[in-house]
A and B are shown apart, each in its own frame.
Chain A
Amino acid sequence: MINILIELGFALFSIVIALLVGIAFILLAGESPLDAYHALYIGSIGSWREFLNTLWRATPLIFTGFALALPFKAGLFNIGGEGQLLVGGFAAGFVGFYFTGIPGGLHVALAIIAAIAAGALWGLIPGILKAYKGAHEVITTIMLNYIAIQLTIRYGIERYRIGGRQALPTIQDSAKLLRFNDLAELPVVGSLPFIEAFALPGLRLHFNFILALLAALFLWYLLWKTTTGYELRAVGFNASAAEYGGISSKKTIILSMVIAGALAGLAGAGEALGTHHTFMSGMDAGLGFTGIAVALLGRNHPFGIVAAGILFGALSQGGLEMQFVGIPSEIVTIIQALVIFFVAGLQMLKWFLLKQREKGEAE
């Protein structure tokens, strides 16, 4: 329990430091730090709607955070979240438009399954290469990112688009992921008293967020309550020892990469089916890479990642409001980067403090 509090303290501490250093950059831009941070607050959690929109922004980041964290537990560094997200999003967008005449619920499910399958495939390839040939997963996943970008954004959109937009055609209504502000129009659910709270114009939170929470529960259960999870962590601690203990490290490596790919694919599905209602150029927006920072800040724990994802969601949602009061977008990006920087930097400090303590105890 104390450990969790300390972790939380460090995370918050690094955020505070980042915001303090950020003041220097805001002053450099000739703006008032008070106004800037006030805007950040108002824009991210200052009202019920902005808070819900923060959750909307957080959703894909939570998924891509998972996509890094799970293989990390097995000792792998999956940089491929971006590519896995792209193929997932493309698959969802493709099924969402080109498959017609399927009833509502089924169509969404089909599109999501397509995204999971595509993402899983994009995780399977580096998994197999790592397990059987020892090809370094950092290299293979980075290369697969390039392939995914060219395949989906360049070739895929070029081949399947209609009209001038750099996007697949808008998906069928039956494939749209339910948004929270549509809840009020549903028959039974809509009559519930609290549902009005979600009927806000401009609210873009959709049900992928619920899936993200379910995924967090699933991962937590998988990692700490099942044999597979135990094996996975054992391989992460020491692959040879685990192998000696009768665990197939090959199987574990592949499995962790496949699940990771599927989760990143879900991030893409949410963006395509819930946010944009299409697969479009630029929708990945570095979500796969930001996911790495999310996982780092969340200490690779499913619940930590949910919290970290929401923090990063707040930064990007609030960042828009900062621009709104006149802070240049570059400064906003710098402040977001500072948070990541100090999160990583303060991990070093913590490591140092622990060493000191160990030394003290030894003496």
Chain B
Amino acid sequence: MRTKVISLIVVFSFLVVGALAGFAQPVEADTFRVGIVYSEGGLGDLSFNDLAQAGLMRAVDELGIEYGAIEPDSPADFNPALRRFAERGFDMVIAVGFLQAEEVIEIAPEYPNVQFAHIDQAHEDLDNVTGLIFAEHEGSFLVGALAALVSETGTVGFVGGIDSPLINRFEGGFVQGARYIDEDIQIESAYADSFNDPSRGREIALSHMDNGADVIYHAAGATGTGVFEAVEEEDQLAIGVDTNQNHLYPGHIIASMLKVVDVAVFTAIEDAMAGELPLGENVVYGLADGGTGITSLTDVDEEQLAYEEGLIDEDELEKIRELKDRVTAPHAERIEEIKQMIIDGEIEIDDWSETGRQL
């Protein structure tokens, strides 16, 4: 009897699977379709991937595109994910993060009619790929200078994610910016070996502060939340990265280095739709075009938005305002001057991803 029941169940299960397979049919679309493959770590990192998604969503709202998105579980997913979009006739495929470089190089030439955009990775000799890269060293130079101006101990700190050319570029800008203000400034710098390890970030930040650092900049993705925690514990100051993180720990984050991945994604989609994406070339976003930069040192207009979205309350907004008035506003003019000098080419910043670390 029991065996009969079990065989019935088996047959039933196959019927269910078969029926499911039969019913649903994929829909064909004639709108512009964009496929995006996020970097490892995926959405919810409060910086890089989330920014790319924000740009994509803006394109959905304003340009009426359709999209597909895949968050890879492991590096083995990159190849099938990218290929899937290309093969199903998506008009454009966006790869997020330098980890997918090999896969893009392999797949793009097989689908010459698909436009590829690759964030954070420059490409040579691929006719249907546009690399979208950022001059992070320029924005980081500004926050480095700000850190040196604000520091009372004459020691500033840096916490990096993974020791890689990309993050070296952040570090390099920061170090050169700080030294531009004060040649003898003490710089504590360390890498957490992970973009997703807040407790390690906290440890490193605490040890930086033990060594006298009173302003700490991070370029470490989700590891950075640990840095903020430590800074709040010890009542010191921090600088955020990629997106405006000033409201995450109100009263402790004096500024954030901006990297407008969202704008880059949106612009790339817009250009691709118009057939104007500079394929075969790399687009560099820098200080001059607002591709990298620094949050406002004087007003709280942007943080006001976080308040209106309910992310912070009125007291916290007030804390941010007070912090800016007291700590950063006095240096706003000087930073603006430096920014202009960088844009005009009067200050030249070494790109540590090319020159290597020069501590």
Q: Which of B3, B21, B166 has the most CB of A within 10 A?
A: B21
Asked if B13 contacts A13 (CB within 8 A), the reply is: yes
Is A106 interfacial (CB 8 A cutoff)? Answer: no
For A321, what are the chain B residues with a Cβ–Cβ distance below 8 Å?
Answer: 84
Per-residue contact bits, chain B 3-18, to A (CB 8 Å; 1 contact, 0 not): 1001101101100110
Asked if A317 contacts B13 (CB within 8 A), the reply is: no
For A166, what are the chain B residues with a Cβ–Cβ distance below 8 Å?
Answer: 99, 162, 164
Asked if A38 contacts B9 (CB within 8 A), the reply is: no
Among A19, A320, A353, contact of B80 (Cβ-Cβ < 8 Å): A320
Is B110 interfacial (CB 8 A cutoff)? Answer: yes
In angstroms, Cα B80 to Cα A154, docked, is 27
Among A8, A164, A201, A323, contact of B164 (Cβ-Cβ < 8 Å): A164
For B164, what are the chain A residues with a Cβ–Cβ distance below 8 Å?
Answer: 164-166
Asked if A9 contacts B21 (CB within 8 A), the reply is: no
Asked if A325 contacts B26 (CB within 8 A), the reply is: yes
Asked if B70 contacts A324 (CB within 8 A), the reply is: yes
In angstroms, Cα B17 to Cα A321, docked, is 16
In angstroms, Cα B174 to Cα A333, docked, is 39
Q: A5-B3, A163-B165 are in contact. Are A38 and B21 (CB under 8 A)?
A: yes
Asked if B16 contacts A34 (CB within 8 A), the reply is: no
Q: A12-B13, A166-B164, A329-B42 are in contact. Are A204 and B79 (CB under 8 A)?
A: yes
Bin the interface of chain B by size. 35 or more
Q: A10-B6, A204-B79, A282-B74 are in contact. Are A164 and B24 (CB under 8 A)?
A: no
In angstroms, Cα B75 to Cα A204, docked, is 13
For A182, what are the chain B residues with a Cβ–Cβ distance below 8 Å?
Answer: none
Asked if A9 contacts B9 (CB within 8 A), the reply is: yes
Asked if B73 contacts A280 (CB within 8 A), the reply is: no
Among B3, B16, B71, contact of A323 (Cβ-Cβ < 8 Å): B71
- B interface SS class: helix
In angstroms, Cα B309 to Cα A96, docked, is 53
Among B21, B102, B163, contact of A46 (Cβ-Cβ < 8 Å): B21
In angstroms, Cα B197 to Cα A96, docked, is 31
Asked if A201 contacts B9 (CB within 8 A), the reply is: no
Per-residue contact bits, chain A 30-59, to B (CB 8 Å; 1 contact, 0 not): 001111011001100010000001000100
Is B60 interfacial (CB 8 A cutoff)? Answer: no
Is A187 interfacial (CB 8 A cutoff)? Answer: no
Is A6 interfacial (CB 8 A cutoff)? Answer: yes
Which residue of the partner chain B has the closest CB to A287? B74
Among B10, B73, B99, contact of A316 (Cβ-Cβ < 8 Å): B73
Is B69 interfacial (CB 8 A cutoff)? Answer: yes
For B13, what are the chain A residues with a Cβ–Cβ distance below 8 Å?
Answer: 12-13, 15-16
Among B7, B70, B353, contact of A9 (Cβ-Cβ < 8 Å): B7
Asked if B165 contacts A164 (CB within 8 A), the reply is: yes
Which residue of the partner chain A has the closest CB to B70? A323
In angstroms, Cα B16 to Cα A319, docked, is 18
Asked if A202 contacts B69 (CB within 8 A), the reply is: no
Asked if A202 contacts B21 (CB within 8 A), the reply is: no
- Cβ distance B131 to chain A, nearest Cβ, rounded Å: 14
For B74, what are the chain A residues with a Cβ–Cβ distance below 8 Å?
Answer: 282-283, 285-286
Is A326 interfacial (CB 8 A cutoff)? Answer: yes
Which residue of the partner chain B has the closest CB to A336? B73
Is B281 interfacial (CB 8 A cutoff)? Answer: no
In angstroms, Cα B36 to Cα A323, docked, is 11
- Cβ distance B200 to chain A, nearest Cβ, rounded Å: 11
Asked if A276 contacts B75 (CB within 8 A), the reply is: yes
The 3 closest A-B pairs by CB, nearest first: A285-B74, A9-B6, A38-B24
A-B contact pairs, 16 of them (CB 8 A): A5-B7, A6-B2, A6-B3, A9-B6, A12-B13, A37-B21, A57-B76, A170-B102, A204-B80, A276-B75, A282-B40, A285-B75, A316-B73, A323-B81, A324-B85, A329-B70
- Interface residue ranges, B against A (CB under 8 Å): 2-3, 6-7, 9-10, 12-13, 16-17, 20-21, 23-24, 26, 40, 42, 68-71, 73-77, 79-81, 83-85, 87, 98-99, 101-102, 110, 162-166, 193, 353
Instruction: Beyond A163-B165, A353-B2, list 10 extra A-B contacts (CB 8 Å).
Output: A5-B3, A6-B2, A9-B9, A35-B24, A158-B193, A282-B75, A285-B74, A285-B75, A285-B76, A326-B69
